[in-house]
């Protein structure tokens, strides 16, 4: 069968979803090999895979390698990414090791698909919270350049992988049974709580946690706007899957809510759900399992005629990780930047 020999590195929540998305979108893969820290058999999307240990030799003869995220003490792409490139692979990395590397395009197809052309064999996925925000901002920025973005996120526990989901579920049972909740992945109980901390504090932006800094720096790189004013507050919430965001964005010239809805609705990959009078707006439950980014609550900022407020929701494991990665590879194939060897 003509097609691409594909490798997925990581067999956790994101790695499994990458396999599912490749199959759902009928990516032209002649084979899919799954790598992880240890060898085992694992059922993914109803099919049993022989998961193999990750080693440089495993990339020989393969065309595309999707890195799902952290694998061991260092990110798997840090250990094996460029070795895969040296062996002829086109690498799409969901980890954060090379996002700000000048050699590596940082891509959200709705915003900067052309950047893939400078790939040097390696392209990075942005952070999940960045992906959905820039997907929604891109058609508006093309209409009038942005001056400032202020975002607050409401990020589900699946952003911490399967362990985050298990901790939320465990706390639900423990508290219902009158037992103290087990706290392992978060600094505090997550059930019935909000935690305004994702990652650790960084000297680069005093008072900002790592997730917030990612949104600032990645947004600037994706849009090629190094001076763009971006401020982010990232919050972990007791939702199993799907990230939500409030976004306030100021443009050089006014964009009416009506025009914004039209621009967003015309953008492939964006679904506008915006009828607040009838209680219609995006919610994480609606986005779960979907590849699109959902936008609603689009309204004029009453204090700034050049600014809009909007509500942005997406499945962080799909569009925020697996789907965005597969879309990058699809574009590389479609535009002739990637061919079977």
> 3-class SS at 172?
helix
Which of 63, 89, 119, 128 does the annotation list as catalytic?
128
φ, ψ for residue 114, nearest 5 deg: -65, -20
Q: Identify whether 243 is a catalytic site residue.
A: yes
**Are residues 9 and 310 in contact, defined by beta-carbon separation less than 8 angstroms?**
no
Query: Nearest-CA neighbor of 230 among 151, 149, 311?
Result: 149
- The rounded distance, in Å, linking the Cα atoms of 338 and 97 is 23
CB-based contacts of 212, cutoff 8 Å, min separation 6: 198, 205, 232, 233, 234
> 3-class SS at 41?
strand
**Are residues 83 and 56 in contact, defined by beta-carbon separation less than 8 angstroms?**
yes
Helix (H) or strand (E) holding 141: helix 128-143
Work out whether strand 293-300 and strand 307-314 pair parallel, antiparallel, or are unpaired.
antiparallel
Place of tokens 């589900």: 156
Place of tokens 């990414």: 81
Q: Identify whether 128 is a catalytic site residue.
A: yes
- The rounded distance, in Å, linking the Cα atoms of 156 and 149 is 22
Active site members: 128, 243
């Amino acid at each position: 069968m003509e097609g691409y020999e594909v490798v997925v590195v990581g067999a956790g929540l994101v790695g499994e979803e990458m396999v599912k998305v490749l199959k759902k979108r009928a990516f032209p893969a002649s084979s899919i090999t799954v790598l992880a820290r240890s060898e085992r058999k694992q059922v993914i999307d109803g099919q049993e895979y022989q998961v193999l240990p990750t080693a440089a030799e495993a990339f020989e003869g393969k065309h595309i390698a999707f890195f799902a995220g952290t694998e061991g003490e260092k990110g798997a792409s840090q250990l094996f990414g460029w070795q895969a490139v040296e062996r002829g692979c086109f690498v799409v990395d969901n980890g954060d090791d090379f996002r700000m590397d000048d050699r590596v395009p940082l891509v959200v197809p709705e915003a900067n698909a052309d950047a893939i052309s400078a790939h040097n064999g390696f392209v990075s996925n942005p952070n999940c919270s960045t992906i959905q925000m820039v997907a929604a901002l891109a058609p508006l920025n093309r209409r009038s350049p942005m001056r400032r973005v202020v975002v607050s996120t409401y990020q589900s526990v699946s952003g911490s992988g399967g362990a985050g989901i298990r901790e939320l579920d465990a706390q639900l049972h423990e508290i219902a049974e009158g037992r103290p909740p087990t706290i392992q992945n978060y600094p505090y109980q997550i059930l019935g709580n909000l935690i305004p901390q994702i990652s650790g504090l960084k000297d680069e932006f005093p008072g900002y946690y790592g997730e917030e800094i990612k949104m600032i720096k990645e947004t600037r790189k994706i849009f090629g706007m190094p001076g763009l004013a971006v401020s982010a507050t990232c919050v972990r919430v007791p939702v199993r899957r799907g990230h939500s965001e409030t976004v306030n964005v100021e443009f050089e010239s006014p964009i009416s809510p009506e025009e914004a809805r039209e621009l967003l609705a015309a953008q492939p990959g964006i679904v506008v759900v915006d009828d607040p009078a009838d209680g219609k707006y995006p919610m994480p439950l609606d986005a779960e399992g979907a590849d699109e980014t959902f936008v609603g609550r689009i309204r004029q900022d009453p204090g700034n005629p050049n600014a809009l407020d909007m509500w942005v929701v997406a499945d962080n494991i799909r569009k925020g990780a697996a789907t965005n990665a597969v879309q990058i590879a699809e574009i590389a194939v479609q535009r002739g930047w990637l061919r079977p060897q």
